[in-house]
């Protein structure tokens, strides 16, 4: 586990383009989560869409673990947590709207 953490902060093999993509995506998710939490409305939200995003992030993390663990792995983790939170709120408020 310690080796995994040490390797994950090595920047020498980091894909800057992948990092920028995850940062851009990651910047939008907190706004979506806060909006869902404040309005308690999930109109227009797709559980399928959020689930597919989560699956994509999981496979991105698997790729990092198999090939090159770097700091980008943690960007996947952050994004996964944010989207999972949005999906959780979507499921919670959708059941209350019915």
Could you tell me if 30 and 82 are in contact, meaning their C-beta atoms sit under 8 angstroms apart?
yes
Per the domain annotation, does 86 fall within a domain?
yes
Q: Is 21 among the domain residues?
A: no
Average model confidence (pLDDT) across the chain: 87
| Measured distance CA(94)–CA(88) in Å, rounded | 10
The larger pLDDT score, comparing residue 81 to residue 4, is at 81
Q: pLDDT category, 86, cuts 50, 70, 90?
A: very high
Residue 95 lies in a domain: yes
Domain that holds residue 94: 64-98
Residue 5: pLDDT band with limits 50, 70, 90:
low
Residue 7 — very low, low, confident or very high, per pLDDT cuts 50/70/90?
low
Distances (CA, A) of 2 to 6, 7, 9, 72: 6, 9, 11, 17
- Tell me the whole-structure pTM to 2 decimals: 0.81
The tally of domains found in the chain comes to 1
Query: What is the structure's pLDDT at 44?
Result: 87
Cβ-contact 33, 89 below 8 angstroms: yes
Residue pair 33/85 in contact (Cβ under 8 Å)? The answer is yes
């Amino acid at each position: 586990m310690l080796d995994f953490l040490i390797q994950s902060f090595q920047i020498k093999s980091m894909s800057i383009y992948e990092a920028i993509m995850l940062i851009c995506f990651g910047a939008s998710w907190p706004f979506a989560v806060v909006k869902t939490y404040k309005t308690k409305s999930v109109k227009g939200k797709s559980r399928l869409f959020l689930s597919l995003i989560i699956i994509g992030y999981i496979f991105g993390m698997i790729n990092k673990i198999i090939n090159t663990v770097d700091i980008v792995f943690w960007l996947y983790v952050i994004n996964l947590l944010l989207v999972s939170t949005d999906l959780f709120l979507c499921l919670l408020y959708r059941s209350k709207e019915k």
